[in-house]
Structure 1
Amino acid sequence: MKTTSIAAAAAAAALALLAATGAHADGHYVPGVEGIQAASVPPPGMYYLGYLVNYNIDDFRAPGSSTNLPGHNSGTVTALANRFVWITGHKLLGADYGVEAIVPLVRTSLTINAAGISDSRSGVGDIYLGPLVLGWHGPQWDAVAAAGMWFDTASTSHPASAGKGFKSTMLTGGLTYYFDGAKTLSGSALMRYEFNGRNSAGVRPGDQLTLEWGLGKSFGAVSAGLVGYSQWQTTNDDGAGASTNKAARHAVGAELVYPVPGAGVFLKGAVYKEFSATAGTGPQPKGSLVRFTLVKAF
C-alpha cells in the first residue's frame, strides 16, 4: 500500500508539472498520418490533404518506465490536420521544388485520475510552415527531403489545450522503392526529426525522431498493405523537473487506398495499434489510432 501511494504521488507530481509548464512528453508531429508510399511526392500542382485522426489512449506510462500509472487513466485526441502543398514547376538539386503548410484542428479529452485531471478542450493547434519540399523520381523509386518549422501559436493554458508551448524545427527525409517495373509492390520509409525549443517556463523537451513505414500492394486501382510507426526521444529534456529518461513508442497496422476516378481524389484509411511505449520525464500515452485521409489535386 505504501509503495502504491508513493507511485501515485510521484505520478501526480510529474503530471502537475507538465500541466503547469506546458511541457508535453512528445513533439509536434503525430505519427501514423503517412503509410504506403509515404516518401512519394506528387507531380507539380496544388494539393489539399486532410488527415482525420482519432487517437484513443488506453493508459499512460508512468514517468521513466513502461508500466502504467496507477488508477484509471485514459484520453481521446481527435484532429483534422489540414495540409496545403504546392509543388511548383521549378527544379532544385534535380528535384521538384515545393512548399507546404499544416493547420490542425484538435479536440482533446483527458481523464488522469492519478493526477486529478479531467479536462476537454477544442481549438486550432500549432501551425507548421515548410518553405522547402524536394521530390525526386526514378524508374523504380521516389525520394523526398523537406524542412520547416512548427510555431507555438496555440493555447497551452489547460492540460488538454491544443498547443505544445514551444517551437520545433522539423527535417524530413524518405525513400519509396518499387520492387517491380509495373510499380505494383512498394516499400517506403519516411523519417522526421524535430529539434524542439524552450517553452515560456524554460523547459526544453528532448528532440524526437519519427519513422513511418509501409509495405504496399496494388490490386488494380486499389492498394493495401502493412504500415507502422516508431518514435524515439533522442536527447534529454532540459529544465526544471527534467530527467535523463527518454520516451519511445511503436505501432503496427494496415492501410487501404482507394482512388475516385475523374475527381482527382484519393481516399485512404488506416488503423494502428501501439504495442510498446516507454515514458520519459513525463507520462507517455499508449493506445490505438484510426486515420482517414482525403487527397485532392487541383
Structure 2
Amino acid sequence: MRTHLPLWGLCLLAATHAVHAAEGGGSIYQHGTENYMVGAIPPPGLYGMVYGNHYRTDRMNSPTGENLQLPGFKVRASAVVPRLVWVSGVQVLGGQLVAHALAPLADIEVSVGGMRQRKSGLGDITVGAGLGYHHSPQLHSAVAVDVILPTGSYTQGDLANLGRNYRAIEPIYALSYVDPQGFNGDVRLGYLFNQRNKATDYTSGQELHFDYAAGWGVGNGWTVGVGGYYRKQTRLDRQGGASLANSKSSGMAIGPSIKYDSGKGWFITAKWQSEQRMKNGTQGSAFWLKAVMPL
C-alpha cells in the first residue's frame, strides 16, 4: 500500500474559460506518485518514506484537449513529503495489517494574465489502512482505503492553494511483480470519491486512475524501465446541485523510471514523466524521487 500525494489545489480562474474538471483543473490525487514496489508490503516494523517532487507546466487544456493558451500561464510546484508506515504482525483475512500517514510540505507558484501568487506550507494530509499479501517470492498485492483530509490552506478565488478544501475517500488495489534479474511490473489502482467543497458548493466528479511501472532487473540492485499514470473522471462535476456539462477530465503520462535496491532494507526510485492527451486540466512534466528505509 504505497499511497498518493495530494500536493496542491489550483484555482486558475478556469471557470471563465469553461474549464471545470475536478474544480480548477486539478485533482486531489497527485498522479504518478507511485513507482516500483508499490504493492510489496515489507516485513512487520516501522518504516520511513520520503517523496520529492517537482512539477512544471505552461499549458491548460480544454475539454477536447486543445491548448487554451492562457496569457502568461505558468505553474511551478515542488514538494517534500514524509510518510510513516507501520506494518503490524497481525494477520487479518490472510493479509498483514498496515497503516500509514503522510503530510506534504509544498511550495507552489502560479502565474496567469499578469497575476502571480506563491504559497508554501502544509498540504492535505492522508491517512489510511490496508492489508498486504505475499502470493509468492515475486508476486505481492495490497488492498487499502485512504482518507484525504482538508488540512492545507485554502482561500476561495486565490490563484494557488495548498489544499482543496474537501475530503476524499479512496479504495486502492496495488500489485507488484518483483524479479531482481528479470521483469518487474507494478500498478496502483484507485477510485476517488470526492466530497463537496463547502466554500464553493462544488463537488468534483469521481475519478478512476492508476500509477504504473514496468522494467527489467539488470543486476546489482538496479531496475530500469518506464513509469507514469492514467486517469479518467467517471462522473460530471456538480455545483449548486446541478451537473456541469463538459467537466470530465482525463489524461496520461509516461517517462523513464529507475530503482536501486541496496539489499539492506532500503531502496530508492526516480522517474521523469511527461503528461499526454490531457483534457480539462494542466499538461506538463514532473520529476519524482522516493526513498524507503526501516526505522
After TM superposition, the score normalised by the length of structure 2 is 0.86
1:215 maps to amino acid: A
Aligned in 2, Cα 1:13/1:108: closer, same or farther, shift over 3 Å?
A: closer
Aligned in 2, Cα 1:210/1:81: closer, same or farther, shift over 3 Å?
A: farther
**Is contact 1:25-1:205 (8 Å) kept?**
no
The answer on 1:211 being equivalent to 2:210 is: yes
**Is contact 2:35-2:269 (8 Å) kept?**
no
- d(CA) in 2 for partners of 1:106 and 1:214? 25
Partner of residue 6, structure 2: none
Taking only aligned residues, the RMSD between alpha carbons, in angstroms, comes to 2.4
- Give the Å deviation of 1:259: 3.1
1:1-298 map, 5 Å: 14=15, 23-62=23-62, 64-70=63-69, 71-113=71-113, 116-130=114-128, 132-139=129-136, 140-157=138-155, 158-178=158-178, 184-200=182-198, 201-220=200-219, 221-240=221-240, 242-260=244-262, 262=264, 264-279=265-280, 284-298=281-295
- d(CA) in 1 for partners of 2:181 and 2:282? 37
- Give the Å deviation of 1:159: 2.1
- Give the Å deviation of 1:18: 9.0
- d(CA) in 2 for partners of 1:229 and 1:13? 24
160-169 vs 74-83, greater mean Cα deviation: 74-83
- d(CA) in 1 for partners of 2:209 and 2:68? 25
- Give the Å deviation of 1:170: 1.1
Is there any run of 5+ residues in structure 2 with no aligned partner, and where?
1-11
- Summarize deviations over 1:120-162 as a string: whole Å, max 9, x none: 11110011111x2211011231111000211111111132120
1:276 maps to amino acid: R
Aligned in 2, Cα 1:13/1:145: closer, same or farther, shift over 3 Å?
A: closer
The alignment covers a number of residue pairs equal to 275
Aligned in 2, Cα 1:296/1:162: closer, same or farther, shift over 3 Å?
A: same
Looking at secondary structure, tell me which structure has more helix per residue. 1
1:192 maps to amino acid: G
SS in 2 for 1:31: coil
2:95 maps to amino acid: A
- Summarize deviations over 1:235-284 as a string: whole Å, max 9, x none: 1101048334310121001111123465x4312111001121000xxxx1
Aligned in 2, Cα 1:95/1:161: closer, same or farther, shift over 3 Å?
A: same
**Is contact 1:36-1:225 (8 Å) kept?**
no
**Is contact 2:141-2:173 (8 Å) kept?**
yes
1:186 maps to amino acid: N
Partner of residue 4, structure 2: none
4+ runs deviating over 4 angstroms: 15-19
- Give the Å deviation of 1:17: 9.7
- d(CA) in 2 for partners of 1:13 and 1:197? 20
- Summarize deviations over 1:40-82 as a string: whole Å, max 9, x none: 22221111111101111131113x2311123331211111122
Aligned in 2, Cα 1:243/1:123: closer, same or farther, shift over 3 Å?
A: farther
- d(CA) in 1 for partners of 2:19 and 2:81? 24
1:233 maps to amino acid: Q
Aligned in 2, Cα 1:13/1:256: closer, same or farther, shift over 3 Å?
A: closer
Identical positions, percent: 25
**Is contact 2:79-2:105 (8 Å) kept?**
yes
Structure whose CA Rg is larger: 1
